[in-house]
């Protein structure tokens, strides 16, 4: 059976196929690829060399040397893996932990947007709290009350001191309209007078 596979393989594959695959495996680098793509490419080439495999130490060395500089490479060299799969596991875990520890990896990160527009680099490191804007509770309540008045205005006169039900101008208009003539009252009933 093994002899039949070898003879079929040599008859079907192009000349120097084993040399080409081995050469490509030995020269493979991560480059701009994602780590998972690089691992998949190496696994594919290792499967193609299954008839004449390289030693496991060579697989680990090629994988480690092909990694681009970063956390995966650093962690790989720190732990000295003995098998290819162990090296892959260490590198993938290190990259995942690094990415998930970064602020905003799974969502929106306002610091990175701000850094992109300001031209400075944002490092996701702890920063000391700025206490220069800290206030006591009394000042904070006063400021909140002032901000509330800015938002809430009287619809009749536009004042920020009171709202429409307590408006003196509205009350004045109501008292004047009560002392007006019956013809004016009928006009008010039809909607011709000032709206409240």
Q: What's the number of domains the chain is made of?
A: 2
Q: Is residue 171 part of a domain?
A: yes
Would you state the pLDDT for residue 157? 85
Distance CA 99, CA 105 (A): 6
Would you state the pLDDT for residue 68? 93
Q: Is residue 9 part of a domain?
A: yes
Q: Is residue 90 part of a domain?
A: yes
Would you state the pLDDT for residue 110? 54
Would you state the pLDDT for residue 56? 94
Same domain, 172 and 92: no
Would you state the pLDDT for residue 81? 93
Would you state the pLDDT for residue 136? 64
Domain boundary residue, one of 85, 101, 117: 101
Largest Cα span, the chain: 119
Same domain, 97 and 10: yes
Q: Is residue 28 part of a domain?
A: yes
Would you state the pLDDT for residue 148? 57
Return the structure tokens found at 130: 């700025």
Q: Which domain holds residue 89?
A: 2-101
Would you state the pLDDT for residue 51? 87
Domain boundary residue, one of 80, 101, 122: 101
Q: Is residue 97 part of a domain?
A: yes
Would you state the pLDDT for residue 140? 65
Domain boundary residue, one of 57, 78, 101: 101
Tens digits of pLDDT across the chain (196 residues): 566 565 665 566 677 888 899 999 999 999 999 999 999 999 999 999 988 899 999 999 999 999 999 999 999 999 999 999 999 999 999 999 988 887 655 555 555 555 555 555 555 667 777 766 666 666 666 666 666 544 577 878 888 788 888 888 888 888 888 776 555 555 555 555 555 4
Would you state the pLDDT for residue 32? 92
């Amino acid at each position: 059976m093994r002899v039949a596979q070898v003879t079929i393989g040599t008859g079907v594959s192009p000349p120097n196929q084993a040399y080409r695959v081995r050469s490509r495996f030995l020269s493979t680098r991560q480059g701009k690829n994602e780590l998972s793509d690089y691992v998949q490419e190496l696994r594919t080439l290792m499967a193609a060399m299954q008839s004449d495999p390289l030693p496991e130490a060579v697989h680990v060395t090629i994988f480690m040397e092909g990694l681009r500089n970063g956390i995966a490479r650093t962690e790989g060299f720190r732990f000295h893996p003995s098998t290819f799969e162990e090296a892959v596991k260490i590198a993938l875990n290190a990259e995942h932990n690094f990415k998930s520890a970064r602020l905003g990896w799974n969502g929106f990160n306002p610091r990175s947007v701000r850094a992109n527009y300001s031209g400075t680099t944002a490092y996701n490191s702890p920063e000391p709290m700025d206490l220069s804007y800290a206030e006591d509770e009394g000042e904070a309540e006063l400021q909140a009350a002032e901000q509330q008045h800015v938002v809430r205005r009287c619809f009749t006169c536009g004042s920020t001191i009171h709202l429409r039900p307590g408006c003196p101008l509205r009350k004045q208009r109501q008292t004047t309209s009560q002392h007006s003539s019956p013809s004016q009252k009928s006009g008010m009933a039809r909607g011709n007078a000032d709206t409240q």
